[in-house]
């Protein structure tokens, strides 16, 4: 077994790999990295469970890169030696980015290719013809390449990874994965990385692993209260919108925030509601093209957006969408399928998220854990706030029981907020909610899909040749099918509760100071101008000196 307290330098890693780790400012390995990397370097199969944000990607990427660098020393033949299977395209891009960061000092020796996107097979063929050392993709896309002979693994593959293994079957990849395994050699080293051990993971274990070491780390699935603060507040539908408006408009919630809802329609309803008050946000769901989704996540991580409204994997069973599909089938119309290889609450590395708001309560305990796991990652602090309606109380009790069973210091606290103090905002919120009709939501949904389809093509072609223009494409532009009233943008001082005036939006007092200074300076300038224009104010007489000749 691995020794206790091993650092990266004690693991016998190649110097260039250590340089890349140092460049990423990783002082010490996380618990999963400390346990998994030495075992993987010994050639053992691994079944590892660790919570979201614990460093699972690097735990398998580092051994793969180390193995490839050692193999290159003894052979010059170029071949695909490592395959990483992911359940979502967003996760595929994230894994590729992580591997590229870890190979920044040996990029010529270790090549990586991500084929999980929606590009045409023929467009990906030239990439695979170069035989990259590591190929990343979803099971369905990899199987397609294997069947069309654009990828061959039967003789060269040495390492296989299935990341977020508990999602692979639930995302409908069971048959694809079983068919894919028939194209692989009989002997290879395999890793299964997962946040939970369920029946699907046990089935994968039997299919893929050979006498594995099982790492079931003794840690709760969420950080304790010293790092993650979890609150819940009881409120009904109208109050959810009122609270969200107050938290954002008065800057009671600061930093990057993800708001989770349970359906795509709810995404656009909340976005249009916030637009009434000039609070702009991005929508992230399975209807948007994969290039747009990855671009939104990348720009959010760079701090271009503060608010994302997202659905998780449960939106794939959205009842409204199901009804729409039934109606389309009844009338004999074609139906555009959603992207089922999608998941926001799982696997995606949202960086430096300060707050997660569960606008709609998640439908399962696992979904709650994965949503809240978007914040308080690595050593960062985070806050989770969950809105709970009367009908959602049973779900809250399930979550509390699960968390209390894992860690007594990981329970949800009641959020002490006096709703009566913000009653002055209620009429504004009601006015805004009346403007967000079903027709407005439908129009907004169609408008954004059309915009993002165009943006996706630009991202795929134009921005590859013009990287400087990449920043110009924004995803939080107003959709404006709903009526927007200009006066809703500003918050009168008399509406702000006295108890919140000191902490609510420090910019308000600063704006007042600027306004007062501007008023004083403008008054002074106006007085000077008035004096210059009025001859009685600026007239001055100077007495002439008499000369001797005048005498």
Q: What pLDDT does residue 419 have?
A: 87
- CA–CA gap between residue 283 and residue 289 (Å, rounded): 12
Q: What pLDDT does residue 530 have?
A: 56
Q: What pLDDT does residue 548 have?
A: 55
- Tokens representing 371 are 């949503």
1-23 average pLDDT score:
85
| Nearest Cα residue to 312 out of 273, 353, 370, 231 | 370
The DSSP bridge partners found for residue 46 are 191, 213
Q: What pLDDT does residue 225 have?
A: 86
Q: What is the pLDDT of residues 61-100, one digit of tens each?
A: 999 999 999 999 998 899 999 999 998 888 898 899 999 9
166-184 average pLDDT score:
88
Q: What pLDDT does residue 531 have?
A: 57
Work out the percent of the chain whose per-residue pLDDT is above 70. 77
Q: Does residue 326 register a pLDDT over 50?
A: no
Residue 289 contacts residue 540 (beta carbons within 8 Å): no
Q: DSSP code of 59? A: H
Domain 228-315+338-500 has what CATH class?
Answer: alpha beta
pTM above 0.85, yes or no: no
Q: What pLDDT does residue 551 have?
A: 46
Burial of 80 (0-12, 13-18, 19+ CB in 10 A): buried
Residue with tokens 């532009």: 477
Q: Does residue 532 register a pLDDT over 60?
A: no
Q: Does residue 183 register a pLDDT over 80?
A: yes
| Buried-exposed string 194-228: b where 16+ CB fall within 10 A, e elsewhere | bbbbeebbebbbeebbeebbebeeebebbbeeeeb
Q: Does residue 151 register a pLDDT over 90?
A: yes
More confident residue, 322 or 274: 274
- How distant is the alpha carbon of residue 451 from its chain centre? 21
Residue 249 contacts residue 345 (beta carbons within 8 Å): no
- CA–CA gap between residue 384 and residue 375 (Å, rounded): 8
CA dihedral 203, 192, 41, 102 (to 10 degrees): 160
Residue 374 contacts residue 188 (beta carbons within 8 Å): no
Q: What pLDDT does residue 449 have?
A: 84
Mean pLDDT of the chain: 82
Q: Which residues of the chain does CATH 3.40.50.300 include?
A: 8-216, 228-315+338-500
The DSSP bridge partners found for residue 212 are none
More confident residue, 275 or 54: 275
In CATH terms, 8-216 corresponds, of 3.40.50.970, 3.30.360.10, 1.20.1260.60, 3.40.50.300, to 3.40.50.300
Q: Does residue 11 register a pLDDT over 90?
A: yes
Residues in the chain: 551
| Nearest Cα residue to 291 out of 82, 534, 456 | 456
More confident residue, 48 or 406: 48
Q: What pLDDT does residue 534 have?
A: 58
Q: What pLDDT does residue 516 have?
A: 53
Q: What is the pLDDT of residues 330-368, one digit of tens each?
A: 444 433 445 655 556 565 778 889 999 999 999 988 889
Q: Which of 46-60, 181-195, 510-524 has maximum average pLDDT?
A: 181-195
pLDDT band at 169 (very low <50, low <70, confident <90, very high): confident
Q: What pLDDT does residue 354 have?
A: 95
Q: What is the pLDDT of residues 106-120, one digit of tens each?
A: 988 999 999 987 678
Q: What pLDDT does residue 450 have?
A: 80
310-314 average pLDDT score:
71
Q: What pLDDT does residue 317 have?
A: 42
- CA–CA gap between residue 385 and residue 231 (Å, rounded): 5
Q: Does residue 458 register a pLDDT over 90?
A: no
Q: What is the pLDDT of residues 370-381, one digit of tens each?
A: 899 889 887 789
Q: What pLDDT does residue 41 have?
A: 96
Burial of 500 (0-12, 13-18, 19+ CB in 10 A): middle
More confident residue, 493 or 74: 74
Q: What pLDDT does residue 507 have?
A: 47
More confident residue, 51 or 457: 51
Q: Does residue 406 register a pLDDT over 80?
A: no
SS3 457: helix
Q: What pLDDT does residue 367 have?
A: 87
Q: Which of 87-91, 99-103, 446-450, 508-512 has maximum average pLDDT?
A: 99-103
- Tokens representing 471 are 């920043």
Q: Which of 224-228, 233-237, 325-329, 519-523 has maximum average pLDDT?
A: 233-237
Mean pLDDT lowest for which of 81-95, 172-186, 248-262, 499-513? 499-513
239-254 average pLDDT score:
94
Q: What is the pLDDT of residues 255-310, one digit of tens each?
A: 999 999 999 999 999 999 999 999 999 999 888 887 788 888 888 988 899 999 99
Q: Does residue 124 register a pLDDT over 80?
A: yes
């Amino acid at each position: 077994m691995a020794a206790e307290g091993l650092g990266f330098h004690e693991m016998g890693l190649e110097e260039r790999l250590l340089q890349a780790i140092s460049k990423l400012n990783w002082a010490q390995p996380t618990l999963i990295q400390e346990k998994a990397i030495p075992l993987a370097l010994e050639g053992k199969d691994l079944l590892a469970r660790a919570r979201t944000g614990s460093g699972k990607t690097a735990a398998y990427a580092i051994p793969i890169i180390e193995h490839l660098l050692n193999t290159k020393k003894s052979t010059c033949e170029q071949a695909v030696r490592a395959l990483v299977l992911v359940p979502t395209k967003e996760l595929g891009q994230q894994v590729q980015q992580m591997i590229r960061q870890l190979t920044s000092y040996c990029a010529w020796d270790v090549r990586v290719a991500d084929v999980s996107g929606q590009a045409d097979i023929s467009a990906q063929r030239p990439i695979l013809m170069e035989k990259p050392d590591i190929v990343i993709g979803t099971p369905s896309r990899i199987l397609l390449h294997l069947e069309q002979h654009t990828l061959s693994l039967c003789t060269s593959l040495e390492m296989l990874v299935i990341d977020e293994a508990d999602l692979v079957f639930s995302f409908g990849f069971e048959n694809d994965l079983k068919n894919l395994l028939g194209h692989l050699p009989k002997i290879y080293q395999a890793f299964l990385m997962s946040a939970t051990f369920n029946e699907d993971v046990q089935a994968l274990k039997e299919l893929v692993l050979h006498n594995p070491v099982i790492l079931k780390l003794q840690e709760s699935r969420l950080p304790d209260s010293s790092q993650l603060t979890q609150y819940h507040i009881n409120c009904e539908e109208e109050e959810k919108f009122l609270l969200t408006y107050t938290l954002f408009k008065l800057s009671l919630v600061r930093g990057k925030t993800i708001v989770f809802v349970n359906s795509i329609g709810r995404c656009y309803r909340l976005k249009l509601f916030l637009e009434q008050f000039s609070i702009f946000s991005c929508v992230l769901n399975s209807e948007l093209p994969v290039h747009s989704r990855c671009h939104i996540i990348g720009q959010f991580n760079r701090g271009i957006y503060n608010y994302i409204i997202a659905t998780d994997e449960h939106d794939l069973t959205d009842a409204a969408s199901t009804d729409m599909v039934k109606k389309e089938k009844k009338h004999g119309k074609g139906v555009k399928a959603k992207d089922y290889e999608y998941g926001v609450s799982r696997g995606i590395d949202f960086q430096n998220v300060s707050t997660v708001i569960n606008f709609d309560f998640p439908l399962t305990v696992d979904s709650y854990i994965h949503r809240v796991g978007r914040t308080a990652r690595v050593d960062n602090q985070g806050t989770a706030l969950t809105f709970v309606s009367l009908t959602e109380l049973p779900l809250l009790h399930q979550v509390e029981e699960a968390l209390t069973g894992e860690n007594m210091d990981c329970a949800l606290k009641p959020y002490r907020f006096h709703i009566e103090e913000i009653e002055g905002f209620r009429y504004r919120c009601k006015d805004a909610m009346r403007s967000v009709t079903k027709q407005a939501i439908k129009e907004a949904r169609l408008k954004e899909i059309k915009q993002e389809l165009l943006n996706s093509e630009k991202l795929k072609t134009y921005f590859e040749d013009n990287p400087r223009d990449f920043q110009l494409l924004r995803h939080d532009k107003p959709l404006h099918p709903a009526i927007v009233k200009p006066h809703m943008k500003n918050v009168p001082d008399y509406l702000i509760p006295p108890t919140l005036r000191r902490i609510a939006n420090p910019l308000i007092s600063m704006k007042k100071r600027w306004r007062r200074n501007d008023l004083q300076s403008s008054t002074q300038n106006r007085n000077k101008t008035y004096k210059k224009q009025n001859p009685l104010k600026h007239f001055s007489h100077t007495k002439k000196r008499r000369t001797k000749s005048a005498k």
